[in-house]
């Protein structure tokens, strides 16, 4: 038996923080298309079940009927595949639950443990919704002789805490005969051991939407044979987001700086979204024209931005005897009744401010 585990699609996200309104609209439909392509993959590869572990949509305010209808059509057109959908913390409008005629192959979970059985495979899930979810773990009863997949959406915690929101207590799920814990909420792929028998897995999101979601994104394919589960991560993204750090320590020449940036990003496909972070200690003589670099690179990529996080390296002692504001400031600080370490820190911060570089704590 073959199963897909996906989560956190956040269809209809605004995505206008970095993108123009036209690009944001394009990205929304690209992410929807990636979902449709995943369904096509499922059809072609004889997948029997698609588990959606929460946050299929983003917020009730942003959702468009066109996108919802395309999701429904994709599900209906894959009539031989069951879609098991568990709502996440963003899925608040009960769209599927309110349908007068829901596709037969779309099956839902609720705020009590419920399950679906396929031969000897049992898929059990629960949606968070109660203020106190601490009692749900003792209510989960599974058969040792079946293959058990459990679906939840939330942040994992090794131990019980006072935070009773959407927190998943891993230790309370151990030794429950779980073979695969299919999770949603974290937008990065992660698969680790749960206990002697099973694993827990975040499939991550299908497509990155912002620079907190860089790198490969996709879904997980489970193959179940001879009472064993094997899994693999599949990526079919339209675009990938990248954050590249470039160290400019002691560099001065602007052409060399541009060359170093270009070398750092030359392997990145032009269709992708790219953020370059400049860092390191630069000299006072160094001139970084971030706007120029951004304009130079912008036309090469779908989206490009540059962030300057360099620190100014200053030999403040050379100003000590100056007849200037810098010299007067240094002499004033050196006369303070404090440690040399503290004086050096104050002088460095002050000189950076006086030469026009942003002071960074």
pLDDT for residue 324: 82
Q: From 177, 209, 234, give the residue that closes a domain.
A: 234
Give the end of a domain, one of 172, 207, 234. Answer: 234
Asked if 221 and 251 sit in the same domain, the reply is no
* 339 exposure class (CB count in 10 Å sphere: 0-12, 13-18, 19+): exposed
Both 58 and 116 in one domain: the answer is: yes
For residue 359, the model assigns a pLDDT of 44
Asked whether 234 and 204 are in contact (CB, 8 A), the reply is no
Q: Are residues 266 and 181 in the same domain?
A: no
- The string of pLDDT tens digits covering residues 113-149 is 999 999 999 999 999 877 777 789 999 999 999 999 9
Query: Looking at the structure, do residues 325 and 208 belong to the same domain, yes or no?
Result: no
**Residue 61 and residue 204 in one domain:** yes
pLDDT of amino acid 158: 62
Q: Which domain holds residue 16?
A: 2-234
Model pLDDT, residue 70: 92
Report the alpha-carbon distance of residue 34 to residue 49 in Å, rounded: 18
Tokens 């990065």 correspond to 188
Exposed (0-12), middle (13-18) or buried (19+): which is 4, by Cβ within 10 Å? buried
Based on the domain organization, do 48 and 186 belong to the same domain?
Answer: yes
pLDDT in tens, 219-269: 999 999 988 999 999 999 999 999 999 999 988 888 899 999 999 999 999
- Please indicate, yes or no, if residue 223 is contained in any of the structural domains: yes
CB 42 within 8 A of CB 50: yes
Domain boundary among 185, 219, 234: 234
Same-domain check for residues 228 and 308: no
The reply to whether 219 and 252 lie within a common domain is no
Say yes or no: 338 and 224 in one domain. no
Per-residue pLDDT at 132: 72
Task: Give the span between the Cα atoms of 87 and 111, in whole angstroms.
Answer: 10
Our count of domains for the chain comes to: 2
> Cβ distance 108 to 140 under 8 Å?
no
| Predicted pLDDT at 159 | 52
Residues of the chain with pLDDT under 70: 59-64, 91-94, 158-165, 314-317, 352, 355-361
Q: Could you give the count of Cα atoms lying within 13 Å of 219 in the half-sphere of its Cβ?
A: 26
Residue 326 pLDDT: 79
């Amino acid at each position: 038996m073959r199963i897909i585990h996906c989560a956190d699609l956040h269809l209809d996200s605004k995505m206008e923080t970095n993108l123009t309104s036209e690009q944001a609209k394009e990205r929304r439909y690209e992410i929807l298309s990636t979902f449709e392509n995943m369904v096509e993959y499922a059809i072609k590869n004889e997948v029997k079940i698609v588990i959606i572990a929460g946050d299929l949509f983003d917020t009730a305010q942003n959702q468009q009927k066109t996108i919802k209808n395309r999701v429904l059509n994709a599900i209906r057109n894959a009539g031989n595949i069951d879609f098991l959908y568990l709502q996440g913390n963003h899925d608040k409008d009960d769209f599927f639950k309110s349908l007068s005629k829901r596709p037969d192959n779309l099956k839902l979970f609720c705020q009590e443990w419920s399950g679906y059985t396929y031969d000897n495979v049992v898929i059990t899930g629960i949606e968070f919704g109660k203020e106190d979810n601490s009692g749900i773990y003792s209510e989960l009863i599974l058969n040792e002789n079946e293959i058990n997949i459990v679906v939840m959406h939330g942040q994992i915690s090794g131990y019980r805490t006072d935070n009773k929101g959407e927190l998943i207590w891993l230790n309370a799920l151990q030794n429950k005969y779980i073979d695969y814990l299919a999770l949603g909420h974290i937008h990065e792929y992660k698969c680790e051991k749960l206990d002697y028998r099973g694993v827990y897995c975040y499939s991550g999101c299908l497509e990155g939407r912002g620079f907190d979601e860089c790198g490969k994104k996709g879904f997980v394919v489970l193959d179940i044979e001879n009472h064993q589960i094997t899994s693999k991560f599949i990526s079919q993204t339209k675009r990938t987001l990248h954050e590249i750090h470039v160290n400019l320590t002691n560099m001065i020449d602007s052409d060399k700086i541009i060359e170093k940036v270009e070398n750092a990003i030359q392997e990145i496909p032009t269709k992708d979204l790219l953020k370059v972070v400049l860092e390191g200690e630069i000299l006072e003589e160094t001139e970084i024209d971030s706007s120029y670099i951004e304009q130079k690179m912008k036309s090469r990529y779908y989206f490009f931005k540059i962030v300057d996080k360099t620190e100014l390296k200053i030999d403040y002692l050379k100003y000590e005897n100056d007849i200037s504001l810098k010299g007067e400031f240094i002499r004033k600080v050196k006369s303070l009744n404090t440690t040399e370490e503290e004086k050096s820190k104050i002088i460095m911060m002050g000189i950076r401010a006086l030469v026009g570089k942003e002071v960074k704590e």
